[in-house]
Amino acid sequence: MSDEHAPQGRQPLIPPQKVLRHSVRGQVLDALRAALVDGELVPGEIYSGPALGERFGVSATPVREAMQQLALEGAVECLPNRGFRVLTRTRRSQAELAEVRALVEVPVMLRLARSVPAATWESLRPAAVAAARAAEEGDLPRYAEADRAFHRAVLSLSGNGQLVRIAEELHRRAQWPLPDAPRVRRGELVADAAEHSALLDALVARDLPVVEALVRAHFAGA
């Protein structure tokens, strides 16, 4: 049975929208990633390519391609002739991600703290401000992107592209909500965003114990 005729679960609360024809797959992928972060794609639910395509005003093909990318990222699983099921995260998997992120990023942050000049850290203030602005507006998907952008900018100073890619993939997975968790409140986003500025302050001061404590706490709260 094709996914067009399969019984569907609850459909996502993504407002109908048109997507420009250039880079359609990339735009659909961005929209689906935002829907995952915002909880609009519900863990455990099955979604079909045609149904989502109608919401975006595109064919099912770019939706399926985007969903296949999300499957590679561990966000969904492909169900032949049915569609895609959003995978359910657990608190254990969340804790494991936090541990792995710390193992990957903390040593790099500490090394950079010893060598990168203060002026370079100050140049990253706009990235911290962008995250803070998204948090103030309570825009969870935009904050998630700004949060990744800040960490990407910091880790890029290592000059290790493979590290940056792996860290961003781990970070993206850490941002998917738990199925039983309440929606993140604006105040929580603001507090999380404030940690970026505090981290920059510690990096400028080369205060390694504070750098390590802030990074570990940031991961634990992700």
CA-CA-CA-CA dihedral for 107, 109, 111, 114, to nearest 10: -140
Matching CATH number, 91-220, of 2.40.50.140, 3.40.190.10, 1.25.40.10, 1.20.120.530: 1.20.120.530
> Using one digit for the tens of pLDDT, what is the confidence trace for 60-75?
999 999 999 999 999 9
Whole-model pTM above 0.85? Answer: no
Distance, in Å, from the CA atom of 181 to the CA atom of 150, rounded to the nearest integer, reads 25
Q: Do the Cβ atoms of 21 and 60 come closer than 8 Å?
A: no
Matching CATH number, 24-86, of 2.40.50.100, 3.40.50.300, 1.10.510.10, 1.10.10.10: 1.10.10.10
Longest dimension (CA), the chain: 62
Mean pLDDT value across residues 169-183: 86
What percentage of the chain reaches a pLDDT higher than 90? 68
Domain ranges of the chain: 24-86, 91-220
